[in-house]
Amino acid sequence: MATKDPREPFSRISASEAKSKIDEGNVQVIDVRTPGEHAGGHVPGAVNIPHMAVVSRKGDLDTDKELVFICQVGSRSALACEFAAALGFKELYNVEGGTEAWVKSGYAVE
C-alpha cells in the first residue's frame, strides 16, 4: 500500500502498485536512470529523464497526469520526486525498489 511520509512531497509505492496505476492509465512514468541504463530495459512507455535533468526538462513532465518516478532501486527517483515537487507538481509517486523490484515482480520491460 502506498506510504506517505509527511516530510516527503511524494508517496512511496511498490512495483505492483505502480503496475496497477499504469494499467489504470492517467500516469506518466519517468525513468530517471542514465540513457544507457534506460536502453538496457525499462518500464514500457517510460520517458527517460535522468534525475539531474528533471528541472531543466520540466516541459517534458505531463501536468495533467500523476507522475510515477522509477530508477534502479528507488534512490534517484526519490530525489527526482523532490525536484518535481519543487517545480509545483503534486501527484508524485516513487517506486520503491525501482526497476529491480519491477523485474523481480515479473513485469515486462522494453
Domain range 27-104, CATH architecture: 3-Layer(aba) Sandwich (3.40)
Q: Which of the residues are catalytic?
A: 71
Q: What is the pLDDT of residue 4?
A: 75
* 23-40 pLDDT tens trace: 999 999 999 999 999 999
Return the CA Rg of the chain: 12
User: What does the alpha-carbon distance between residue 32 and residue 14 come to, in Å, rounded to a whole number?
Assistant: 17
**Domain segments of the chain as ranges:** 27-104
Specify the pTM: 0.95
For residue 3, name the pLDDT band (cuts at 50, 70, 90).
Answer: confident
> Could you count the other beta carbons within 10 Å of the beta carbon of residue 59?
6
